[in-house]
Structure 1
Amino acid sequence: MITLYHNPRCSKSRDALALLEQHGKPFQVIEYLKTPLDETAIRDLLLKLRLTARDVIRNKETEYQDLQLNNPNLTESQLIAAIAGHPRLLERPIVIKDDKAAIGRPLDNIIAIL
Structure 2
Amino acid sequence: MITLYTKPTCNPCRKVKSLLNEADISYVERDFFSTPLTPQELEDLIALTENGVEDLLLIYTKIHDNLYLDFEGMSTEELATALAENPRLLRRPLIVKGQELLIGFEEISCKAFCGIH
Normalised by the length of structure 1, the TM-score is: 0.85
> Structure 1 pair 51/110, CA: closer, same or farther in 2 (3 Å)?
farther
Matches for 1:22-41 after TM superposition, within 5 Å: 22-41=22-41
Which residue of 2 is the match for residue 6 of structure 1?
Answer: 6
Which residue of 1 is the match for residue 106 of structure 2?
Answer: 106
> Structure 1 pair 49/95, CA: closer, same or farther in 2 (3 Å)?
same
Instruction: Show CA shifts across 1:75-101 (max 9, x none).
Output: 433322211111111110111111111
Equivalent-residue separation in structure 2 for 1:55 and 1:3 (angstroms): 18
Alpha-carbon RMSD across the aligned residues, in angstroms, is 1.8
Amino acid at match of 1:49: T
- 5+ long unaligned stretches in structure 1: none
Q: Offset of 1:42 from its aligned partner?
A: 0.8
SS in 1 for 2:33: coil
Say whether the 8 Å CA contact 1:64–1:70 is kept in structure 2.
Answer: no
Say whether the 8 Å CA contact 1:54–1:79 is kept in structure 2.
Answer: no
> Structure 1 pair 96/31, CA: closer, same or farther in 2 (3 Å)?
same
Which residue of 1 is the match for residue 48 of structure 2?
Answer: 48
SS in 2 for 1:53: helix
Length, aligned pairs only: 114
Q: Offset of 1:6 from its aligned partner?
A: 1.2
Say whether the 8 Å CA contact 1:46–1:53 is kept in structure 2.
Answer: yes
Equivalent-residue separation in structure 1 for 2:14 and 2:6 (angstroms): 8
Q: Offset of 1:70 from its aligned partner?
A: 5.6
Matches for 1:78-97 after TM superposition, within 5 Å: 78-97=78-97
Equivalent-residue separation in structure 1 for 2:47 and 2:13 (angstroms): 21
Amino acid at match of 2:24: G
